[in-house]
Amino acid sequence: MARSAKGSLWRRGPVLSVSAAVIGLVVTIAVFGPFACEMWTQATLLPTVERRIGAEIRAPYVILGKRDREVITFSAVNPGGPAATAGVTSGDIVVEDVSIGELCRRLNAVKDARVVVEVAPGGNGPELDRRPHRKASILLP
């Protein structure tokens, strides 16, 4: 394993067939930095935040215009949970320019804090900037 100048670890090795013939080359890269930090935040905070606010959060990448973007959605909202009480519905899209990691950090604030999240209805329809936006004030239990 070698370390690059940018703080990544990388390793190369052959890909072997069942008969042990070399059929390719695999390169494994472990990145340390903002991307790795974001992945760690998602992996550790997202399940806690979802239980806490009573909603599932997903962040697929979609193509908007000429660039791709992480679009954060509330894929499921539990009736009576903090997110539902704040007016969030299943399919709502977060219209703020935040990453899922940043949103998780905000929604992992102290008990009884209110976190305001700007959302728009999801699904088929007009472009995101033409949909009605609303602010959901989620009271964290």
Q: Which of 81, 77, 74, 80 is nearest to 119 (CA)?
A: 74
The SS3 call for residue 95 is coil
What CATH number has the domain spanning 54-139? 2.30.42.10
CA 78 to chain centre: 19
The domain ranges of the chain are 54-139
pLDDT values of the chain reduced to their tens digit, one per residue, 141 residues: 444 444 444 444 555 555 555 555 554 445 555 566 677 777 788 899 999 999 999 887 665 666 666 789 999 999 999 999 999 999 999 999 888 888 998 998 888 899 999 999 988 888 888 899 999 999 999
